[in-house]
Amino acid sequence: VFLSAFTTKTAVYVLLRGFPGSEILIWIGIFMIFYGIVYALLENDMRRILAYSIVNQVGFMVTGIGIGTEMALNGAAAHAFSHIIYKALLLMSAGAVLAATGRRKCSELGGLFHSMPLTTICGTIGALAISSFPLTSGFISKSMVTQAAIDGHLQVVWLFLAAASAGVFLHAGIKFPWFVFFQKDSGLRPPDPPASMRWGMIVFAFLCIALGIWPDPLYALLPYPVDYVPYTAAHVITQLQLLLFSGLAFFVMLDYLKRTPTITLDTDWLWRVAGPAVARVFAAALGKLRTALSGEIDHGFQSLALFISRHRQPDGLLMRSWPTGSMAWWVMVLLLTYLLLYYV
């Protein structure tokens, strides 16, 4: 919960302060949005679904920063704040399920609304908020980013954001609560979590709805004055249409969206599988090299010891005596060399 709030939002803050209006951030953000959607739809682990949805939601913020207008920057900041609340709520509800059942795979869960009604309600509120359902915190923040794209005449960007809003409802708005709390009955009947966990979810669920109904306190904290009304008939109807048809698409494709107990390959494969394999290859090669070098060094030391031992014999080079005449000759040569160097 704490990591989801602070780590990604720190990056958003740095981009907001240092690179507002950088056009490349628009396309980086859109890539993040759809990357998160695709992998969240493929994922079977409920915690990884929520992790991919973080990538997706931060993509909306990065896109807003790239647009760079006052409306867009206000939207990015507001959405970062809203995301902290509803993502914490979703992670707490997933954590409550994990603590109660010991399971995290969607294929192993289902039917928990029978015995965990409070967790189901809170998780559903979080799912609606991340989907920007009207009267939730996500609606009053994400809509500022899409409105900024319209105001900036960025039609292609707006189309991507609208399609992404539908995709978010598919993977986090419906998939997470449906496969975890509803769908088939898994036979599990765990109770709701202890009071401390229940109250944490209740408080954040209340904040999701309170900010959605009364966004003015949040708008007052934004970097620029806010001249924006989220609850217009056109905007509400457009958003409800997106969510309605996304929901219909989900249930039409439900058989294809049911997950199996598999692992979705992602970039973590590089350090989870490929990295250790490469490390083993290098370790084997370095082991052979170390063995060869050790053998050569040992052989060199043995040869040196044998050479010294051989010449320390009575007839060896180091043990023979030098005649006086040869020593006098060397002294004369050294003195002559010194005189030449000194006087010439």
- Measure the CA–CA gap between 232 and 235, rounded to whole angstroms: 5
Q: Which residues contact 279 (CB under 8 A, 6 or more apart)?
A: none
pLDDT of residue 317: 60
Q: How confident is the model at residue 262 (pLDDT cuts 50, 70, 90)?
A: low
Could you list the residue range(s) of the whole structural domain that residue 223 is in? 2-266
pLDDT of residue 208: 93
Query: What is the rounded average pLDDT for all residues in the chain?
Result: 86
Clarify whether residues 74 and 145 are in a common domain.
Answer: yes
Q: Which of 27-31, 181-185, 223-227, 267-271 has the lowest mean pLDDT?
A: 267-271
Say which residue, 50 or 315, is predicted with more confidence.
50
Q: Which of 43-47, 220-224, 270-274 has the lowest mean pLDDT?
A: 270-274
Helix or strand or coil: residue 45? Answer: strand
Neighbour-count burial for 297-306, b at 16+ CB within 10 Å, e otherwise:
eeeeeeeeee
Residue 105: strand pairing partners? 45
Clarify whether residues 18 and 61 are in a common domain.
Answer: yes
Clarify whether residues 106 and 239 are in a common domain.
Answer: yes
* pLDDT of residue 326 exceeding 80: no
Clarify whether residues 176 and 214 are in a common domain.
Answer: yes
pLDDT of residue 315: 64
| Residue type, position 195, single letter | A
- Measure the CA–CA gap between 167 and 68, rounded to whole angstroms: 24
Instruction: Please tell me the number of Cα atoms within 13 Å of 328 on its side-chain side.
Output: 3
Clarify whether residues 253 and 283 are in a common domain.
Answer: no
* pLDDT of residue 314 exceeding 80: no
The count of structural domains within the chain is 2
Instruction: With residue 109 as reference, give the H or E element that holds it.
Output: none
The CA–CA distances, whole Å, from 133 to 153, 169, 289, 308 equal 25, 9, 62, 88
Q: Which residue, 243, 266, 289, sits at the end of a domain? A: 266
Clarify whether residues 73 and 167 are in a common domain.
Answer: yes
Q: How confident is the model at residue 311 (pLDDT cuts 50, 70, 90)?
A: low
pLDDT of residue 328: 81
Q: In terms of Cα–Cα distance, which of 92, 86, 91, 60 is closest to 73?
A: 60
* pLDDT of residue 64 exceeding 90: yes
Clarify whether residues 68 and 166 are in a common domain.
Answer: yes
Alpha helix stretches (DSSP H) within the chain: 2-18, 23-42, 46-67, 70-101, 117-130, 137-151, 155-168, 176-181, 195-213, 216-219, 233-252, 254-257, 269, 275-311, 324-343
Q: Which residue, 245, 266, 287, sits at the end of a domain? A: 266
What mean pLDDT comes out for the span 331-343?
85
Neighbours of 145 (CB within 10 A): 27
What mean pLDDT comes out for the span 177-194?
83
pLDDT of residue 307: 75
Residue-wise pLDDT for 98-126, tens only, equals 998 888 888 888 888 888 899 999 999 99
Clarify whether residues 66 and 161 are in a common domain.
Answer: yes
Q: Which residue, 266, 287, 313, sits at the end of a domain? A: 266
Whole-model pTM: value is: 0.75
* Percent of the residues in the chain that have a pLDDT greater than 90, as a whole number: 32
Clarify whether residues 215 and 91 are in a common domain.
Answer: yes
Clarify whether residues 163 and 246 are in a common domain.
Answer: yes
The phi, psi pair for 134, rounded to 5°, reads -55, 145
pLDDT of residue 280: 85
- Measure the CA–CA gap between 138 and 126, rounded to whole angstroms: 9
- Measure the CA–CA gap between 12 and 72, rounded to whole angstroms: 13
Clarify whether residues 178 and 310 are in a common domain.
Answer: no
Residues 285, 287, 290, 294, CA torsion sign = negative
| Residue type, position 198, single letter | R
Read off the tokens for 183.
């769908």
Clarify whether residues 282 and 261 are in a common domain.
Answer: no
